[in-house]
Amino acid sequence: MLRSHRPVLSSLYYSSPSRGSQIAYYRIVLISRQLLSGSAMSSQQKQGEILKWASTDGEFRRRPSSYRSFISREPGAQYPPEKGRYHLYISWACPWAHRTAIVRKLKGLEGIIDLSVVDWYLGEMGWKFSTPEETPGSTIDPVHNSSYLRELYFRMNPGHDGRFTVPVLWDKKTDTLVNNESSEIIRMFNEEFDDLVDDKFKGVTFYPKSLRKDIDELNEWVYDTVNNGVYKAGFATKQEVYESHVVTLFKSLDRLEDILAKSTGPYLFGDVLTEADIRLYTTIIRFDPVYVQHFKCNIGMIRQNYPQLHKWLRHLYWEIPEFKDTTNFEHIKKHYTKSHRQINPFGITPVGPLPDIEPK
């Protein structure tokens, strides 16, 4: 029987203009681009690819992000930091996009980089835009008035054949997709806009030079076994693949529990809030509400079996507003349970656990 004081495995072994006819126009543009790109497969076949996750061997393999340009303060940079030039597209549901929303707020970039939020539903056409009236918490696309995020990718590359993922960092001046890799976007937000932010945000860093080696080392295994580990377990289509990944996941949670138990402060690296905490938070905040049941990561729960991780999570959520303000449990729970029909065919969203996060 699991005990709350012990590691689990050790006891086991934005206002909106009316879209009107523009929606139809953009749909025509989208279809034209698809045809011009030489895609001859049927729309059903093409769109269905978005919802296929695992390979034939039962393994989920995340594809690398496609756009990796960088905003830089260096003289002559292709993409220099400018107020109002860049636009960030996210989903409140997506843990990778969630990272960028947190750092945008922590670094005081809300008046410098605009934000759009897609609907929580991910269908065969990918992420869609909805008005706040249609889906509270969502926004339209004020830059291009797109109906779907995929239109941005085809705008950038009519022959794009990858997934249409968030986050997306868009340059309005050159009408270009700059970057869609969250780990790189948070590094840009952390450093490259310091000449533009208010004085209280200048010099604030979540990637201090003295800790970079340690942060990089922790990020590497946490990404593989925890951030992406929940997906590798949840999207597995063979029993042995699932078991392998879920066991590895909980071993890493045990390891994180031990790190926090030995920490001299409330964070993974003592009294210093770093990007490692931010990157881990977006997975752990989803763990009990979604991953335990939806991805079958149910060897234990954060609130019941990991006291140090639970304390750390509640501190971030309740004590640092930027974390709570960017956490939308409705979008999180509905996205996973109503979008992943191959896992949850009837789209039933569980009521619990209650509350979504326990009091501090």
Among residues 67, 94, 306, 317, which one is catalytic? 94
Between CA 55 and CA 237 the distance in angstroms is: 8
Between CA 310 and CA 303 the distance in angstroms is: 6
Q: Mark whether 94 is an active-site residue.
A: yes
Asked whether the beta carbons of 306 and 300 are under 8 A apart, the reply is yes
Q: Mark whether 297 is an active-site residue.
A: no
Angle CA 119–123–124, to nearest 5: 145
Best CA proximity match to 190, nearest among 212, 206, 208? 206
Number of Cβ within 10 Å of residue 68's Cβ equals 11
Asked whether the beta carbons of 302 and 252 are under 8 A apart, the reply is no
Number of Cβ within 10 Å of residue 91's Cβ equals 27
Instruction: Name the token pair of 311.
Output: 């304390």
The secondary structure of residue 331, as a DSSP letter, is H
State the residue for tokens 């979604």.
290
Among residues 148, 231, 306, 336, which one is catalytic? 231
Between CA 137 and CA 330 the distance in angstroms is: 9
- In angstroms, what CA-CA distances link 243 with 95, 180, 233, 333? 23, 31, 7, 24
Between CA 325 and CA 335 the distance in angstroms is: 18
Helices of type H across the chain: 8-12, 20-36, 43-48, 95-106, 150-156, 182-191, 212-222, 229-234, 239-262, 275-286, 292-294, 302-305, 307-319, 321-324, 329-339
Q: Residues forming the annotated binding site for glutathione? A: 127, 163-166, 181-182
Question: DSSP per residue over 280-326, as a string?
Answer: HHHHHHHIIIIIHHHS---S--HHHH-HHHHHHHHHHHHH-HHHHTT
Number of Cβ within 10 Å of residue 117's Cβ equals 27
Secondary structure (3-state) at 269: strand
Q: Residues forming the annotated binding site? A: 127, 163-166, 181-182
Active site residue ranges: 94, 231
